[in-house]
Structure 1
Amino acid sequence: MKLRRNRLTTAVQLSFLLALPMAAVAQDAPQAQEAVTLDRVQVTGTRIKKAEIEGQVPVQTVTREDIERTGLNSLGDIVQALTASGSALNTRFNSSGNFGFPPDGSGVGAGSAQVDLRHLGAKRVLVLVDGMRWVNESSASGVGAATDLNTIPLAIVDRIEVLEDGASALYGSDAIAGVVNIITRRDFDGASVSVQYGEYEAGDGETTKADLAWGWNGERSNLFLGASYTEQERVSSADREQSRFPVPGTGVTFGSSATPTGRFVFRHPGTGATYNITPNTGASNPRFDATQTGCTRTDDYHCFTDADRFNFSPFNLLVTPSERAGLFGQFRFDLSENSSWYVKALYNRRESVNQAAPEPIFLGPSGGTGNPLADNIFISRNNPFNPFGIDLDARLTTPPAQRNLFLIGRRPIEGGPRVFMQEVDTWYVGTGFEGIFDVGGSTWFWDVNLAHSDNSAEQTNYGSYNIRNIGIALGDPAVCAATPGCTPLNIFGGPGTITQAMLAWIQPVVRDRSANKLTQFTANLSGDLFSLPAGPLSFAAGVEHRRYEGWYQPDPLTVAGFYNGVPSKPTSGEYDVSELYTEFNVPLMADSAWGKKLDLSIAGRYSDYSTFGGEFTGKLGLRWQVADELLLRTTFAEGFRAPSIGELFGSDSRFDAVLADPCSEPLADPSLLSNCRALGVPAGFQQANPQISVTTGGNRNLQPETADSFTAGLVWSPGFLEDSAVAERVDVEVTFYRHTITGAIQAVDAQTQLNLCVRTMSPLYCDGITRASTGAINGFNNRLTNLGVIKTDGWDVDLFWTLPESRLGKLRVDWRNTFVTRYEAYGAGGQRQPQRPGVEVNNSAIPEWTSTFVVDWSRENWFGSWTVRHISELREACGRAINFPVCSNPALNRNVLPETTYHDLQLGYNFEWLRGLKVTAGVNNAFDKDPPICLSCSLNGYDASTYDIPGGRFWYLRADLRF
């Protein structure tokens, strides 16, 4: 453990001890006036229930009105629009079939929406619902370490409180980057119905939402029931000009080498020549002449070039369809004047779909699949469709000189696109007791809670292939004939030559399942211990126990290694944690020459994990109310994140990274030529496929990530502007933040590892990267470990201005800004990772400045808003697109994603009918701003987590009726 962490831990422990002599002094202090019972105020960022604690830490509150102003239908989309949010998964990521499995074992999260704060990753953000942890996602393809916000219906949300500060001492693991606390609707009298419809200007991406709410408040009890239904239709990549090609402006150059006609790279034993050929268009039964060894050919083949590559983009989705239905209810009953009992339950169902291009079949060692059945394929000369008249042999058991097959890439469009259908069920049941009691004139608050939640998912995959059956169908026809159901396969002809009988043998239906479960018990106590000269010493303490269970069960075909797609193994694990925390708010000064009030907050938490043992985290904070107009505050906190089930127990799996091999000719850096030769790369090698399969998996020896977080800021409410001619009230908030994470659980960025391997030849980077005799990478091992260091800091600058009411109505301005001044990530050996402010990399970005400017207007029954969302300029490497005009600065190998600003407009009217009818019309991206072209993004030329995808205006109509 680092010295600085020891210092903070010691400081927190000493602070607890220092509170004891202060207690002795307070014994002799004059008794305060008789206490007045306060409303129970629970503020995210502290466990002490006291109104005066508000403002101690930077908390952003998104109200119900703020939610309705966005016109959005997903809780995830709303939180991702905050200026402090980073790149996170959402329904604009067409994940399945394209990205494979991330190293943490969480799966692809298809159809989910997550939240990332400070660009530190979704798994470093803790999501609470009414102060209780929410279950992590499963999404059918893994055991997730982050929360899917699509499991929480938007209709039940009263407000969202976002703590933009480290808070492990208060809330435990995962609260490194911050906490999102979703407060549900509770005190609701009557009934309401809300319906909304919207679509893009192009006539697609239709969304339909209907919410029902009913509440009743009695003398001793209240009840709230809510139901929600949301349907989001798809937007196809083929329907937008920018997304019709893999890299906009380059045609099919960056397409796949697995084509509907097929690509064949092999050495002919008779001529000794190596061929890299593809059939001519329309040659369904191509003739091959082995004597024509060059590229000037008169048979039915020609040499493969970039112009032959397959454009997979039109098959993808820009917006994935999703259908969500949820039911929620909570009931509270006052057992006495001072105690109550509650119970709440939720069920949410999500059905979503991802779609990818028809699955490619790559055979031979240069295919890079990592699947032995594909890499070591044998195709018989007796196969009735083999036009080459020779055995095509890539088996390791064959002498190297006789291995003559290097690559076959065939895209069977006859089998249709890959379609991944998810069904995700989320259950939550919670109950508890809470109350107050008085001791010595002080009011104390207590609560005990028990909750269980379950997120389980099933994914059905249509359009993938069985590589074992492909091998049998291409091999000895006699073996195929003796195998029930086998039909010889024709991968040598053009489109349409793979028949339905062939597909029936090689194309299964693949089903994967996974689940995450969380059971938790908490008990909390809060109140004033005694009075000090500057005020009461407030205290909170509690105990928590949680049990996590998770498993992932891929289809038996996948487990057996027969799946042609992304391979993975089952995962299963569980652990529990017991915790004890305490928090003090110590008043140091009140109404003196130094200001109105100075408070010291101290918090500490001890966590005992069954997987790695104990961990203590502490937090110190100062809140200085200099004057009524000025508040200064600062915090310093330790944090940690325990490794998740997927990170600990995840079995071998694979993801397909889009990588540029530094040894592919022509070399971008000619000085690397000798290193490439030493690595076994022959002259003339050109990378056949930009997607390289990377194998990853969990590590049971992982230790927790640790973090130090620091914030300092002010809140200024200038009195000379209050109730003036230009303002009713003005507030300015400025916060500086800094996070340092050590021992971050991650794998080295795959492209960085490959670059460093070629440049340094060090085993530290080259171990696990293997190459075939052709020079192509055929093995890439990239495992999790505690190796990373992440450092980031920046500023939040916010302005809130309420103007006096006039004949034109009432105006309110909210202007929020986040500036990222530093982001550094380091991997093994201290190498710098590519992420940094102002840079786009790996389908995500860290803008140096993000801003949201909102003007709210109301006059009598009318209301409206104008929202401006701004993203500063980003830079990225052009990569292989350096030779195309779409690269804005080829000399520096740099492409610029220009600054982007969106405008959203909304107008509505309140009708005085029943208890209120509100009709609202709005348009997002009113000026039809397209997202900038992204050359380094994996799909469709967009960054789906930073910009509005797919572009174009989105209009909506909503009606809300109370009765």
Structure 2
Amino acid sequence: MKALRRHTLAKAIQLSLLVAVPGLAAAQDATPQQLDTVTITGSRIRQSDKVTSQPVSVITRAQIDQSGATSIGDFLQELTASGKALNAKFNSSGNFGYPASGGGIGAGSAQVDLRNLGSQRVLVLVDGIRWVNESSASGVSGSADLNTIPLAIVERIEVLEDGASAIYGSDAIAGVVNIITKKKFDGVQLHAKQGSYGHGGDDTEADITIGGSTEKFSGVFSAAFVDQRGISSSAWGQSSMPVPGAGLGAGSSATPQGRLTFCDPRIATAGTPGFCDPAGNDWFDLTLNNGATPNYNGGNPTTAPGTYHDWSGADRFNFAPYNLLLTPSKRKSLFASTRYDISEGLSFHAKALYNNRVSRNQAAPEPIFVGPFAGTGGIADTIVIAANNPYNPTQIALDPATNFGWVTRRPLELGPRLFSQDVDTWYVNLGFDGAFNAGARTLDWNVDYVHSENKAEQRFQNGFNVAKLKLALGDVNVCRAVPGCVPLDLFGGQARPITQAMFDYVTTDQRDASKQVLDLFSANLTGDLFDIGDRHAGFAVGAEHRKYQGDFNPDPLRQSGESQDSFAAPISASYHVNELYAEMLVPWLSTFSTDFALRRSQYSTFGGATTGKVGFRWQPMQDLVVRGTWSEGFRAPNLGELYGLTQFGATLVDPCGPTGTPGGAPQYRQRCTAAGVSPTFEQANTQITTFTGGNANLQPEKSKNYNLGFVWSPAWSSAWASRFDFEADYFHYKVTDAIQAPDIQALLNGCYDGSISGAACSGFTRGAGGNLNPPTDFLSNLGTITTSGVDVKVNWASRPMDWGQLTASLQSTHTIGFSAVDTDGNQTQQAVGIEVNDSAIPSWQSNLQLGWKMGDWNLGWDIRYVGAVREYCANAAKLPAANCPETLTIPGPNGTTVANPKFVPFAHLGATTYHDVQASWNHAFGMEGMKLSAGVNNLFGKDAPICVSCSLNGYDAGTYDLPFRFWYVDVQYKF
């Protein structure tokens, strides 16, 4: 048998680790007890002090069950320390292209962010070993997809809210999520769950767990199935009605009736016959009347419009009802874990997992943008619509070089864009562990090999081949000479739909694929190094080798620029890293200890890095522990950040917009005029194509962070409570050489208000009609990110009474500061209390859990609070808007305009509170092992605050819940 160290610790402090966890522990007496040594996330040294130098939250299986969560990601994103991360409420796959983060779209995935530092800065472990990063068919991400880990296999989750690069290596800058799987289980457990939002989104879950053990052997097998249905955006009035951020105010210029911007050289306009003014003074901007067929009579459309009228914002198309509020996902998994004791000091362990996810995103029918105003930087900008195209109502050549801005058309008759992902995850872990005696001491060791891969394919339906659009709109004789080519009608509106034969030629399915592979070898040794009195100084040393391989193979049409959706270049790359680490825990006094860690990493891509960590634990009295850490961190650039070239349809507000709009603020006018932009100019499309991609010259980002806090379990509370714990921690993170892309909106604004100049502004140029050409937004080691705040956690339980026992748990995070500043001193818009880029950092986030237990009955009431935030009205696509009721300018003297003193620069997104309730009945209906639960999340159907600058559905899907109640019934039966 292994020799295990034991020592005494006061009961209140034993429980303090669980302060961060609501409703965890049953009441216990205050008698000190002996504890076995265990390994706690954040250290590889086995120790008996439950309160270590760093803050760790332990989330039990009971907590997860009580939440009604469908995935690990759903649960973790509700932590108060959590920031924005992808989840099933994001429906942006293909709709915007590939964001500047370099991590791909992540369609259908669920990620976790801590401290608002990004999911790529959170390390996800499974049983203490790294998990493979996602692919999702859209790139090679630096983040793990938690939907690849089935909820059915989870025993508990440990969240380290502290940097840990010295312990675990790269990516652990913001913290660590360690998912502990079931390793020993005797019997059979059946589980089923059914839930619904009442507007779709039905959730069906079923899993079975079978396990058994003998003196030397233990094994667990689990099979699970989850079917989460989608919810159409049309089910919510915020999206289906013309409201700010989701309706006409921020709608698309691509409409079912079409839009045509051109100059007719046959018509004398502005006193210059036969000439098309490059400034657009004699250009027409027309749209077809509702229900009409084209009748362009060759005269001046202003005085003799035929069946057309001048385009205005009222003609914009509300695309939101065609999107999804909740994306569907179907997941199937198999998991097996086994352990065999070969001898007294040697054991073999193995785990294997297969997980399949089939998910889908949906967007409004793909708009066709043809002409230089499209601003794609590709083929679409160069298309000429021939005079002999049989559907061209002008009967003149529409040529980008002389007289053509664009034609747009939203073909509703084709149906929505569909993006379907099929993602397979394989994981195999083989290893040995054991113990041996070194003199009078016992040392524990383990070696592990892991092979894991995430492989994804995505099918994009109802997209267009731009090269075929060019043929079908060009010279009709050339088209008819090409097999299958049918002249295309973009001018007929809904009264003259595009025919199936036309669609058959210009539409095509597109298929993207990506894959990430992680191979890992690790070896660890831990034990006691020496004694100080009756105390043991522990140590841990180890080595690890990791090899990463990433491949992204976008559809050939994307690679050639022939996809109407977005451009993407392939990636196939790999790198490896070798690491050594050492850790020591020294108990100088019975009440005071320190721990130290050092890690050396050697990368094949950029060289070496060394990180360190120091922590202390001081227990000045039996019921109080003071703790703190200081650590260095680093994050190596991942494959998606190093390589590849893509496009992203950023929703930008042009500073040179018309006077009285967000972009037309007075501070921009001087430089807009100097750029040749008239006061009446309006950017043709707010979704401006941006070139994004990796940077092979990236270096690792570095960080320093410290935590200082205490855990107090007052002994005097035992007179009226079986448990009362209080915990508070101050945190501070500073990331330097941060890998990120510039805030493109802040950069654009700064270049036109004069606060930014020089090379930083060289990427903003203008083309046809004054429209912005596609800028670049590539990754670099941009600057510094700093954040700080306080975590407060309280746990209380009454003494058991005849009428039951009451419990209450509170977790609150107060984010004091957040800033991201580039090397030139330019600060991004992201800050505490600000909503920007579909992401908010509330000053306060709190979770309160109230519970009552009596016999086999449990009642729970969870209250989740998200503090108020503000958003910049200048980021809204249109004004006036509901939350920004004043216009930017008002009439001034002598026909001028001046700034409106009543203009509200910020929209207010009020504080939001959600209520979740659950009731459970153990041994239901007198059946031993049966547990029946029923609950409702978002009990009062709380709507998310309207966000006038948010994309798609007009709310921040990373911060707020869906607007509907989610009810569910859950049954577990173990025998």
* TM-score after normalising by structure 1: 0.92
Work out the CA distance in 2 between the residues paired with 1:228 and 1:749: 41
Partner of 2:728: 734
Partner of 2:28: none
Partner of 1:154: 151
Q: What's the secondary structure of 2:917's corresponding residue? A: strand
Give deviations 1:760-819, integer Å, cap 9, x for gaps: 372322222221131101221111110121000000000011110012211221100000
Picking from 786, 795, 807, the partner of 2:790 is 795
Are the aligned partners of 2:627 and 2:708 in contact in 1 as well (CA < 8 Å)? Answer: yes
Q: What's the secondary structure of 1:51's corresponding residue? A: coil
Give deviations 1:104-152, integer Å, cap 9, x for gaps: 3321100000000000000000000000000000000111110000000
Partner of 2:460: 461
Q: Are residues 1:291 and 2:287 paired?
A: no
Alignment map for 1:205-216 (pairs within 5 Å): 205-216=201-212
Work out the CA distance in 2 between the residues paired with 1:753 and 1:828: 13
Are the aligned partners of 1:287 and 1:299 in contact in 2 as well (CA < 8 Å)? Answer: yes
Work out the CA distance in 1 between the residues paired with 2:886 and 2:131: 46
Partner of 2:291: 282
Partner of 2:538: 538
TM-aligned CA deviation for residue 684 of structure 1: 2.3
Cα 1:412–1:788 change in 2 (3 A) is same
Q: Are residues 1:896 and 2:918 paired?
A: no
Q: Which amino acid aligns with 1:873?
A: A
More deviation in 109-118 or 412-421? 412-421
Picking from 75, 87, 95, the partner of 2:84 is 87
TM-aligned CA deviation for residue 97 of structure 1: 2.4
Work out the CA distance in 1 between the residues paired with 2:111 and 2:246: 32
Picking from 777, 781, 805, the partner of 1:810 is 805
Partner of 1:13: none
Partner of 2:653: 660
Alignment map for 1:475-486 (pairs within 5 Å): 475-486=474-485
TM-aligned CA deviation for residue 830 of structure 1: 1.1
Are the aligned partners of 1:246 and 1:312 in contact in 2 as well (CA < 8 Å)? Answer: no
Alignment map for 1:522-561 (pairs within 5 Å): 522-533=522-533, 535-561=535-561
More deviation in 880-889 or 121-130? 880-889
Partner of 2:499: 499
Alignment map for 1:180-219 (pairs within 5 Å): 180-200=177-197, 202-219=198-215
Q: Are residues 1:570 and 2:583 paired?
A: no
Q: Which amino acid aligns with 2:265?
A: P
Cα 1:37–1:941 change in 2 (3 A) is closer
Q: Which amino acid aligns with 1:944?
A: A
Q: Which amino acid aligns with 2:297?
A: D
Cα 1:53–1:67 change in 2 (3 A) is closer
Q: Are residues 1:875 and 2:870 paired?
A: yes
Are the aligned partners of 1:166 and 1:637 in contact in 2 as well (CA < 8 Å)? Answer: yes
Unaligned runs of 5+ in 1: 1-35, 396-402, 591-596
Cα 1:485–1:631 change in 2 (3 A) is same
Q: What's the secondary structure of 1:503's corresponding residue? A: helix
Work out the CA distance in 2 between the residues paired with 1:517 and 1:481: 48
Q: Are residues 1:232 and 2:228 paired?
A: yes
Partner of 1:25: none
Partner of 2:385: 379
TM-aligned CA deviation for residue 915 of structure 1: 4.2
Are the aligned partners of 2:880 and 2:886 in contact in 1 as well (CA < 8 Å)? Answer: no
Alignment map for 1:33-182 (pairs within 5 Å): 39-52=36-49, 54-182=51-179
TM-aligned CA deviation for residue 918 of structure 1: 0.4
Work out the CA distance in 1 between the residues paired with 2:218 and 2:669: 75
Alignment map for 1:751-830 (pairs within 5 Å): 751-760=745-754, 762-830=757-825
Q: What's the secondary structure of 1:711's corresponding residue? A: strand
Q: What's the secondary structure of 2:765's corresponding residue? A: strand
Give deviations 1:858-906, integer Å, cap 9, x for gaps: 1111111110000111111223444133436762221111111111111
Partner of 1:447: 446
Work out the CA distance in 2 between the residues paired with 1:204 and 1:768: 45
Q: Which amino acid aligns with 2:46?
A: K
Partner of 2:310: 303
TM-aligned CA deviation for residue 505 of structure 1: 0.5
Q: Which amino acid aligns with 2:676?
A: G
Work out the CA distance in 2 between the residues paired with 1:217 and 1:776: 70
Q: What's the secondary structure of 1:501's corresponding residue? A: helix
Are the aligned partners of 1:244 and 1:940 in contact in 2 as well (CA < 8 Å)? Answer: no
Picking from 327, 337, 340, the partner of 1:320 is 327
Are the aligned partners of 1:246 and 1:940 in contact in 2 as well (CA < 8 Å)? Answer: no
Work out the CA distance in 1 between the residues paired with 2:690 and 2:870: 26
Are the aligned partners of 2:705 and 2:732 in contact in 1 as well (CA < 8 Å)? Answer: yes
Q: Which amino acid aligns with 2:952?
A: L
Q: What's the secondary structure of 1:624's corresponding residue? A: strand
Q: Are residues 1:858 and 2:842 paired?
A: no
Q: Work out the number of aligned pairs and report it.
A: 907
Partner of 1:19: none
Q: What's the secondary structure of 2:64's corresponding residue? A: helix
Structure 1 residue runs of 4+, over 6 Å off? none
TM-aligned CA deviation for residue 649 of structure 1: 1.4
Work out the CA distance in 2 between the residues paired with 1:828 and 1:265: 41
TM-aligned CA deviation for residue 412 of structure 1: 1.4
Q: What's the secondary structure of 1:369's corresponding residue? A: coil
TM-aligned CA deviation for residue 94 of structure 1: 0.4
Work out the CA distance in 1 between the residues paired with 2:850 and 2:442: 41
Work out the CA distance in 1 between the residues paired with 2:483 and 2:757: 50
Q: Which amino acid aligns with 1:333?
A: Y
Q: Which amino acid aligns with 1:911?
A: H
Are the aligned partners of 2:246 and 2:952 in contact in 1 as well (CA < 8 Å)? Answer: no
Q: Which amino acid aligns with 1:932?
A: P
Work out the CA distance in 2 between the residues paired with 1:249 and 1:832: 25
Q: What's the secondary structure of 1:550's corresponding residue? A: strand
Partner of 1:418: 417
Q: What's the secondary structure of 1:464's corresponding residue? A: strand
More deviation in 180-189 or 249-258? 249-258
Work out the CA distance in 2 between the residues paired with 1:389 and 1:955: 59
Picking from 928, 938, 944, the partner of 2:957 is 944
Work out the CA distance in 2 between the residues paired with 1:534 and 1:56: 21
Partner of 1:958: 970
Work out the CA distance in 2 between the residues paired with 1:185 and 1:885: 51
Q: Which amino acid aligns with 2:588?
A: L
Q: Are residues 1:924 and 2:930 paired?
A: no
Cα 1:310–1:210 change in 2 (3 A) is same
TM-aligned CA deviation for residue 503 of structure 1: 0.3
Cα 1:862–1:889 change in 2 (3 A) is farther
Are the aligned partners of 1:43 and 1:54 in contact in 2 as well (CA < 8 Å)? Answer: no
Work out the CA distance in 2 between the residues paired with 1:320 and 1:148: 15
Q: Which amino acid aligns with 2:450?
A: A
* TM-score after normalising by structure 2: 0.91
More deviation in 44-53 or 608-617? 44-53
Identity %: 48
Cα 1:470–1:828 change in 2 (3 A) is farther
RMSD: 1.6
Partner of 2:405: 406
Are the aligned partners of 2:858 and 2:921 in contact in 1 as well (CA < 8 Å)? Answer: yes
Are the aligned partners of 2:199 and 2:231 in contact in 1 as well (CA < 8 Å)? Answer: no
TM-aligned CA deviation for residue 235 of structure 1: 0.6
TM-aligned CA deviation for residue 190 of structure 1: 0.3
Q: What's the secondary structure of 1:473's corresponding residue? A: helix
Partner of 2:716: 720
Give deviations 1:307-366, integer Å, cap 9, x for gaps: 111110010000000000111001100011122101110000000000000111112221
